[in-house]
């Protein structure tokens, strides 16, 4: 029952007074005293005899199996500390901590209660639950925000427990110490100045808790403040303006530049993505931007000539949409990618061949779309042409001639203009210009020969060709078209045109009439070759016509006179000896050469053998002596023959009278002379009359035709009279006997030879030739 009473005594500890009246004793003693420390003297306090304690077997009992914290010195009666007493262990946070003992004495049994109040000493320091306190505070926290810090714990109680806290000096936080309802104290960090994660990402604050004991004890903890990011920073580009220079024609995918920005924030707040903000559509097609890396690459064709500078803005945006932008300027540098282009602005084509050196033929413009050196263009043409390029203003060049042109040598030029720029590598282009040289009539026709000789046998057919002349003119078309004509002139007082005609186109020279070698043997004409240019150029050549003889004339016997006209008689002396010259036959032949080489023969004679005739001289000689037996009248028929092929001959009769006296000769008369004379006169009269009549008729016809034409004009005669139509240079000659107008035709020797000086009309009878000279009606 006592034991349980002691246990219960703990429960109503507060109710009991320390010094109870039942012989009990109370002590108060600090904890943690050394073993053997004397708490008090029980023997004295209880009034017991110390010497008897041992005898009475005094002992201190504790309840249960609790440790024996205290004991009694039996020899002195002192109540002493037997074991270390730790108040905190025994009583924790209880304000009152009382240990109860029983002092048991035997013989007689005596029981005394001893209560020992353990006094707290400041033997514990304030302790924070963890070594470090981690606090995460958003940087966006406002001033005044409070953050509670776990309280420090001190096992001691009362004044020895945590009394206050102190915070290490810092910029941002102040400490406010709070007391709970239970009375314990804790600290609160009060944000005194806003945090900036970007400035200071974490803070370490030393918080010290102190108790109220003496000596004072303290415990510290490190408050680790991590400043949490708030998206309070926009991305910031490293450069305000990015500049890059890029050659044109850079391949797709070429990296242009990389923009980068930093965002002081972290996490999503600091994750920057890039995109184009302000840019033209054109620019948009040419560049792409990697949203994550900020690499800008070429995505389209870059053409310096199209656009030499690109400007755009790139926006950098963080995860929560804060953004900023930067300007990007990209300069495209020129690459020599455009060949020069040659424009032919004007061209004089064809150029007349007489253009003087230095004549401007064309204007050329050269353009190169590149810039600077790449657009510096040099222009040239090939060497071997008489042209050059003269630089003019800007990129203009004049194409001028450098020398004389001669169409007859070179009529076409292929001028290749080459333009090369000064880029590296240089580009060039060329253009071919066709130039023709226009003809100028600068070449007179030139005869192939210095002079021409023609041989014509006489009695030729009118219209037969005599020879032909050819002249060449290297000029073009009409400037080189040669027309032949005869130079007017006279041969023996007769116009040359009555002898020859020339075909204006072919140069074939025709005889207009039959020539007679016996009339003239040669003549000269001048043939003019004239071109058709304007003005025309001409040259002339001499054509010598030699008429060759034909045996067309019979020998003509001059003596003796032809038969019938006179009876010439030669007297032969009777005494003539053989070999004496009797007479001579004289004959001539109009032909020449062999054709006129005459031989004489006696064809028939009265007394053959009496006379001989010299073969070539025609001298008639006696062969024998004349004798009486010979007949007085001797007739010789002499034939005179030329040597032509075939030969012609004439005969005559030589009357010889062998007599010494002329009176002996009978019947010598001459009648025919007068008769023929009067006949000739009457023929002449008739001829005169007919010519006069013809002439008169002719005049009348001309007048009539003229009159008719005028009437036609006046009265607008609708009736065409085909027969009255006459070609301008053609004269129809009325049939008045001499001309056969019934069947005449225009005997142009060559078709279309209107350029011939004359025409002739051939009558039905092929042998008669009429020449009609230029009567213009
Ligand atoms: C000029 O050039 C053209 C084509 O380039 C060619 O057909 C012609 O034969 C050339 N002419 C000359 C005279 O070289
Ligand atoms: C002939 O030459 C003249 C100048 O003398 C020129 O005007 C004309 O065009 C030339 N004719 C031809 C067909 O070339
Ligand atoms: C004929 O040619 C010569 C030189 O060849 C020239 O002197 C003369 O004037 C020319 N005659 C005519 C009529 O053209
Ligand atoms: C057991 C014990 O502590 N005895 C002590 C009691 O007191 C005397 C005198 O002070 C000591 O000598 C003993 O040793």
pLDDT tens digits, one per residue of 562-612? 665 556 678 888 888 888 888 888 998 888 888 889 999 999 988 888 889
Give ∠ CA 675-679-685 in degrees, rounded to 5: 150
Q: What is the pLDDT of residues 478-505, one digit of tens each?
A: 899 999 999 999 888 889 999 999 999 9
Which ligand is in closest contact with the Cα of 443? Answer: 2
Output the residue whose Cα is nearest ligand 3's atom 3.
Answer: 540
Token pair recorded at residue 544: 């010598």
Which residues lie below 8 Å from residue 627, measured CB to CB, with a gap of 6+? Answer: none
Helix (H, G, I), strand (E, B) or coil at 11: helix
Which numbered atom of ligand 2 lies nearest the CA of 535?
5
Which residues lie below 8 Å from residue 359, measured CB to CB, with a gap of 6+? Answer: 351, 400, 401
- Kindly state if the Cβ of 412 falls inside 6 Å of ligand 1: yes
Pairing of β 586-588 and β 556-559: antiparallel
* The pLDDT value given to residue 721: 35
How many whole angstroms separate alpha carbon 641 and alpha carbon 371?
Answer: 107
- Residue 536: how many CB atoms within 10 A of its CB? 16
Residue 702 has pLDDT above 80, yes or no: yes
Please choose, from the candidates 167, 169, 176, the residue with its C-alpha nearest in 3D space to the C-alpha of residue 147: 176
Rounded distance from Cα 431 to ligand 1 centre (Å)? 12
Rounded distance from Cα 99 to ligand 4 centre (Å)? 23
- Residue 61: how many CB atoms within 10 A of its CB? 16
For range 417-433, the mean pLDDT: 91
Give the CA distances from residue 733 to residues 64, 708, 743, 766, in Å, rounded to whole numbers and listed in that order.
194, 17, 11, 17
Strands, sheet with 569-572, edge to edge from the N-terminal-most edge strand: 569-572, 649-658, 633-641, 599-605
Please choose, from the candidates 581, 560, 572, the residue with its C-alpha nearest in 3D space to the C-alpha of residue 632: 572
- Kindly state if the Cβ of 451 falls inside 6 Å of ligand 3: no
Please choose, from the candidates 616, 620, 612, the residue with its C-alpha nearest in 3D space to the C-alpha of residue 555: 616
Span between the terminal Cα atoms of the chain, in Å? 195
- Kindly state if the Cβ of 478 falls inside 6 Å of ligand 2: yes
Q: What is the pLDDT of residues 96-140, one digit of tens each?
A: 888 888 888 888 888 888 888 998 888 888 988 888 888 888 888
Give the CA distances from residue 619 to residues 548, 555, 652, in Å, rounded to whole numbers and listed in that order.
31, 16, 14
Within 586-704, strands assigned E span: 586-588, 599-605, 611-613, 619-622, 633-641, 649-658
Contact 297, 253 (CB under 8 A): yes
- Kindly state if the Cβ of 542 falls inside 6 Å of ligand 3: no
Give the CA distances from residue 433 to residues 387, 416, 430, 630, 772, in Å, rounded to whole numbers and listed in that order.
12, 6, 10, 110, 58
Which ligand is in closest contact with the Cα of 76? Answer: 4
How many whole angstroms separate alpha carbon 102 and alpha carbon 5?
Answer: 11
Residue 365 has pLDDT above 80, yes or no: yes
Report the residue count for the chain: 777
**Rg over CA atoms, the chain:** 83
- The reported pTM is 0.51
Please choose, from the candidates 205, 146, 213, the residue with its C-alpha nearest in 3D space to the C-alpha of residue 171: 205
Burial 77-93 (b: 16+ CB within 10 A, else e): bbbbbbeebbbbebbee
How many whole angstroms separate alpha carbon 349 and alpha carbon 412?
Answer: 10
How many whole angstroms separate alpha carbon 324 and alpha carbon 382?
Answer: 62
Q: Identify how many contiguous H helices and E strands the chain contains and give both numbers.
A: 6, 54
How many whole angstroms separate alpha carbon 772 and alpha carbon 761?
Answer: 7
User: What average pLDDT does the chain have?
Assistant: 81
How many whole angstroms separate alpha carbon 273 and alpha carbon 256?
Answer: 18
* Mean pLDDT lowest among 6-10, 388-392, 591-595, 633-637: 6-10
Question: Cis bond leading into 108, ω under 30°?
Answer: yes
Rounded distance from Cα 540 to ligand 3 centre (Å)? 6
Q: What is the pLDDT of residues 29-87, one digit of tens each?
A: 998 889 989 999 988 888 888 888 888 888 888 876 677 888 888 888 899 998 888 88
Which ligand is in closest contact with the Cα of 487? Answer: 3
- Kindly state if the Cβ of 702 falls inside 6 Å of ligand 3: no
* The pLDDT value given to residue 670: 40
Q: What is the pLDDT of residues 510-540, one digit of tens each?
A: 999 998 888 888 999 999 999 998 899 999 9
Contact 313, 326 (CB under 8 A): yes
Output the residue whose Cα is nearest ligand 4's atom 11.
Answer: 75
* The pLDDT value given to residue 635: 86
Residue with tokens 């810092």: 170
Which ligand is in closest contact with the Cα of 436? Answer: 1
* The pLDDT value given to residue 771: 35
For range 393-412, the mean pLDDT: 91
Rounded distance from Cα 37 to ligand 4 centre (Å)? 12
* The pLDDT value given to residue 679: 67
Residue with tokens 């965002």: 263
How many whole angstroms separate alpha carbon 569 and alpha carbon 664?
Answer: 12
Longest dimension (CA), the chain: 267
| DSSP-assigned letter for residue 21 | S
Q: What is the pLDDT of residues 434-475, one digit of tens each?
A: 999 999 999 999 999 999 999 998 889 999 999 999 999 999
* The pLDDT value given to residue 486: 92
Run of H or E residues at 56:
helix 50-56
Question: Cis bond leading into 560, ω under 30°?
Answer: yes
Contact 395, 365 (CB under 8 A): yes
């Amino acid at each position: 029952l006592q034991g349980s009473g002691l246990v219960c005594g703990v429960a109503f500890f507060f109710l009991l007074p320390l010094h109870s009246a039942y012989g009990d004793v109370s002590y108060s003693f600090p904890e943690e005293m050394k073993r053997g420390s004397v708490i008090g003297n029980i023997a004295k306090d209880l009034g017991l005899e110390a010497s008897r304690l041992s005898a009475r077997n005094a002992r201190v009992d504790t309840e249960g199996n609790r440790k024996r914290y205290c004991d009694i010195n039996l020899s002195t009666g002192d109540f002493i500390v037997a074991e270390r007493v730790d108040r905190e262990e025994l009583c924790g946070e209880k304000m009152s901590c009382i240990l109860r003992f029983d002092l048991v004495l035997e013989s007689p049994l005596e029981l005394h209660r001893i209560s020992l109040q353990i006094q707290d000493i400041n033997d514990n320091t304030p302790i924070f639950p963890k070594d470090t306190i981690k606090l995460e505070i958003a940087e966006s926290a406002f001033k005044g925000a409070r953050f509670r810090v776990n309280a420090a714990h001190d096992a001691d109680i009362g004044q020895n427990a945590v009394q206050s806290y102190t915070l290490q000096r810092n910029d941002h936080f102040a400490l406010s110490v709070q007391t709970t309802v239970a009375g314990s104290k804790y600290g609160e960090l009060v944000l005194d100045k806003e945090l900036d994660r970007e400035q200071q990402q974490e803070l370490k604050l030393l918080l010290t808790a102190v108790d109220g004991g003496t000596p004072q004890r303290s415990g510290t903890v490190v408050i680790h403040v991590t400043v949490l990011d708030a998206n309070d920073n926009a991305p910031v580009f490293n450069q305000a303006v990015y500049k890059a220079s890029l050659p044109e024609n850079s391949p797709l995918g070429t990296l242009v530049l990389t923009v980068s920005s930093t965002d002081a924030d972290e996490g999503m707040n600091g994750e920057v993505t890039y995109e184009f903000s302000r840019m033209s559509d054109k620019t948009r097609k040419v560049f792409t931007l990697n949203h994550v890396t900020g690499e800008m690459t070429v995505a389209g064709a870059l053409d310096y000539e199209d656009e030499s500078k690109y400007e755009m803005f790139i926006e950098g945006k963080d995860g929560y949409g804060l953004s900023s932008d930067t300007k990007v300027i990209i300069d495209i540098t020129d690459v020599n990618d455009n060949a020069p282009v040659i424009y032919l602005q004007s061209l004089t084509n064809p150029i007349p061949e007489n253009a003087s050196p230095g004549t401007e033929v064309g204007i050329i413009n050269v353009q190169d779309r590149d810039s600077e050196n790449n657009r510096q263009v040099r222009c040239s043409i090939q060497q071997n042409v008489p042209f050059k390029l003269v630089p003019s203003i800007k990129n203009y060049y004049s194409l001028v001639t450098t020398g004389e042109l001669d169409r007859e040598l070179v009529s076409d030029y292929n001028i290749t203009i080459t333009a090369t720029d000064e880029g590296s590598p240089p580009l060039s282009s060329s253009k071919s210009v066709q130039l023709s040289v226009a003809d100028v009539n600068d070449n007179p026709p030139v005869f192939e020969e210095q002079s021409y000789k023609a041989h014509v046998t006489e009695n030729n057919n009118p219209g037969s060709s005599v020879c032909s002349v050819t002249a060449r003119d290297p000029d073009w078309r009409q400037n080189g078209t040669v027309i032949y004509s005869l130079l007017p002139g006279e041969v023996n007082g007769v116009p040359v045109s009555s002898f020859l005609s020339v075909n204006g186109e072919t140069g074939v020279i025709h005889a207009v009439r039959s020539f007679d070698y016996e009339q003239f043997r040669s003549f000269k004409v001048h043939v003019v070759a004239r071109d058709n240019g304007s003005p025309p150029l001409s040259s002339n050549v001499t054509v010598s016509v030699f008429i060759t003889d034909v045996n067309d004339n019979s020998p003509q016997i001059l003596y003796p006179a032809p038969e019938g006209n006179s009876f010439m008689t030669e007297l032969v002396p009777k005494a003539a000896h053989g070999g004496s010259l009797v007479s001579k036959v004289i004959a001539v032949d109009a032909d020449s050469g062999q054709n006129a080489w005459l031989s004489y023969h006696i064809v028939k004679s009265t007394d053959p053998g009496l006379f001989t005739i010299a073969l070539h001289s025609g001298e008639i000689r006696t062969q024998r002596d004349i004798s009486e037996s010979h007949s007085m009248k001797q007739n010789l028929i002499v034939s005179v023959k030329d040597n032509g092929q075939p030969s012609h001959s004439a005969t005559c009769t030589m009357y010889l009278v062998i007599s010494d006296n002329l009176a002996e000769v009978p019947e010598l008369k001459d009648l025919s002379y007068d008769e023929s004379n009067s006949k000739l006169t009457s023929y002449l009269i008739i001829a005169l009359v007919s010519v006069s009549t013809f002439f008169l008729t002719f005049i009348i016809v001309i007048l009539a035709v003229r009159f008719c034409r005028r009437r036609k004009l006046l009265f607008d005669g609708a009736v065409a009279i085909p027969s009255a139509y006459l070609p301008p240079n053609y004269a129809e000659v009325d049939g008045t006997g001499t001309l056969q107008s019934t069947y005449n035709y225009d005997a142009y020797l060559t078709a279309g030879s209107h350029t011939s000086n004359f025409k002739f009309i051939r009558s039905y009878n092929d042998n008669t030739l009429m020449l009609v000279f230029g009567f213009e009606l």
